[in-house]
Amino acid sequence: MANVTFGQEPVTLLGSEVKVGDTAPDFTALSNDLKEVSLENYKGKVKLIAAVPSVDTGVCSAEAKRFNEEASSLDNVQVLTISMDLPFAQARWCAAEGVKNLDTLSDHRDASFGENYGVLMKENRLLARAVFVVDSENKVTYVEYVPEVTTHPNYEAALEAAKQAK
């Protein structure tokens, strides 16, 4: 499992670590309108999936806004930001920040994404910061488990991987 810290303190990640070449694990999360969403909803698209602790925090907010800005220039790529935030909070945040080019998904109900992608932090039931790129055939082509949850991911590498995925 990836060695990850949160505020410099080691955390335990529950679930299975995802690696490049794996078939992307399915998951069930909630959209902002409380509908169940899974990988099937994005069939045929490349998925750039950013797991974050909460869009209401500085780094997570900046990350989601950066990926939102980049999303419009990505061809056949759906950007997803997933957290344990409630759908209502995510919808409010998106409206306040003008975020319209990505989907925010809530894993609060089942922690299905967190466990299936190995990003659920046992100590606080939040998602660790990670980025996954999944191609249109649901193969994982890029993985970054950010070593310190309070820091930014490698945006350039993730975006380049999304552009290269088919």
Catalytic residues: 60
Closest CA to 89 of 76, 108, 65, 73: 108
Output the CA–CA distances (angstroms, integers) from residue 40 to 36, 46, 65, 83, 130, in the order listed. Answer: 11, 12, 25, 19, 21
Give, for 81, the enclosing helix (H) or strand (E): strand 77-83
- Alpha helices, DSSP H only, in the chain? 58-71, 87-97, 112-116, 155-164
- Gyration radius of the chain's alpha carbons: 14
How far apart are the C-alpha atoms of 64 and 45, rounded to whole Å?
19
